[in-house]
Amino acid sequence: MSEVYISVDVETDGPIPGPNSMLSLGAAAFKRIGSGKTKTNDFEMVGTFSVNLAELSGASADPSTAEWWKTQPEAWAACREDVQPPLPAMHRFSDWVTAFGVKPVFVGYPAGFDFLFVYWYLVKFTGKSPFSFSALDIKTFAMATMGIDYRDVTKRSMKPYLPVGKPHTHVALDDAIEQGELFCNLYRANGLKR
């Protein structure tokens, strides 16, 4: 494979890294089936990664995000199990990404939020990001695939492409898998247009 698409979801206690902390990181790696000119528009999941992170020293939870977490007790409990210090956790994540041996593409929904946290944490704790600046936004890809305005791309408008039986749990790994499968479905539909 020449690329691996890594669907990433993070759970945080606020809107920006540094003042706020990433609490959980989940990732699911997908590759296209086949190679070279025989690549298909089908994908297979080739690995997952999940870690819960200890809060950053000196950071604090955003009050409105803390209120939202009170409405998600199961997800909150899940992201506070077996918390790990960010330094070794981000090194393990970087090693997991680079172990595929090909160029990784970060896939997020929305990429602008998840990539912000992951990139900041990677640079802060490992010195670099294996993704470089490569981040694919599922919402933007859906806009191009469906031929609709960006603000019209919602879970409702993407219903034909959503994975069946995958609820959005706000558990990072669950959501990363769900979003990765959404990306694969959109890619497949986009390929049918060619």
Report pLDDT for 22. Answer: 98
Average pLDDT over residues 156-183: 92
Residue 104's domain comprises 3-192
Kindly state the tokens that stand for 105: 């593409």
Average pLDDT over residues 14-23: 98
CATH label of the domain that carries residue 166: 3.30.420.10
pLDDT of 190 over the 90 cut: no
- How many other β-carbons are positioned within 10 Å of the β-carbon of residue 128? 10
Report pLDDT for 193. Answer: 54
d(CA 84, CA 106): 22
Report pLDDT for 194. Answer: 47
Band (pLDDT 50/70/90 cuts) for residue 1 is low
Could you report the per-residue pLDDT of 61-78, keeping only the tens digit for each?
999 999 999 999 999 999
Report pLDDT for 36. Answer: 60
Burial of 192: CB neighbours in 10 Å, binned 0-12, 13-18, 19+: exposed
Residues known to be catalytic: 170
pLDDT of 83 over the 70 cut: yes
Report pLDDT for 26. Answer: 98
H helices of 127-154, in order, are 138-146
Average pLDDT over residues 2-12: 95
d(CA 122, CA 65): 23
Whole-number percent of the chain with pLDDT over 70? 95
Say which amino acid occupies 24: S
- How many other β-carbons are positioned within 10 Å of the β-carbon of residue 71? 9
Could you report the per-residue pLDDT of 95-124, keeping only the tens digit for each?
999 999 999 999 999 999 999 999 999 999
Provide the number of structural domains found in the chain. 1
